[in-house]
């Protein structure tokens, strides 16, 4: 009987310590997407996401990303599509911080053929 009580006490203590360690870390993710469509065929899409990882006793790490797409009518009867992507990584200290961005613009004529396409590749700053 004494061995069973000792075993149960040890198991309970390990279970409590394990759950306390799991409570030391906090992960949070939020995202938001907005879509606006107009009657004339234009639209805007904006998506934002933020993730935070916060281990107990250390600084938190935050990742943010933004995606924006705009479709507008152009003078040729087609569409002009602009896409922008931005991502930010913020970690403890400044050595691990970075920002990445890219953008592209595509113009189409009335039949849907690509007339002009511009891309600005991913640029990273630290």
Q: 100 to each of 19, 41, 97, 103, how far by Cα in Å?
A: 37, 30, 10, 11
Q: Greater confidence, 105 or 27?
A: 105
The tens digit of pLDDT for each residue in 29-83 reads: 999 999 999 888 889 999 999 998 887 767 788 999 999 999 999 888 899 999 9
pTM (predicted TM-score):
0.70
Q: Greater confidence, 79 or 7?
A: 79
What whole-number distance in Å separates Cα of residue 46 and Cα of residue 42?
14
What whole-number distance in Å separates Cα of residue 65 and Cα of residue 15?
38
E strand spans, 17-113 = 25-37, 43-55, 61-73, 79-90, 98-108
Q: Greater confidence, 123 or 19?
A: 123
7: DSSP letter:
H
pLDDT of 10 over the 70 cut: no
In which residue are the tokens 């507008």 written? Answer: 72
What whole-number distance in Å separates Cα of residue 113 and Cα of residue 59?
50
- Average pLDDT in the 88-110 region? 89
pLDDT of 93 over the 90 cut: no
């Amino acid at each position: 009987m004494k061995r069973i009580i000792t075993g149960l006490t040890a198991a309970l203590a390990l279970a409590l310590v394990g759950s306390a360690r799991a409570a030391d870390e906090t992960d949070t993710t939020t995202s938001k997407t907005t879509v606006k469509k107009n009657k004339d065929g234009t639209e805007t899409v904006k998506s934002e996401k933020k993730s935070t990882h916060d281990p107990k006793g250390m600084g938190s790490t935050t990742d943010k990303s933004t995606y924006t797409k705009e479709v507008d009518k152009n003078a040729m009867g087609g569409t002009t599509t602009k896409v922008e992507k931005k991502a930010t990584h913020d970690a403890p200290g400044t050595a691990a911080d970075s920002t990445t961005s890219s953008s592209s613009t595509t113009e189409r004529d009335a039949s849907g053929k690509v007339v002009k396409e511009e891309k600005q590749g991913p640029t990273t700053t630290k």
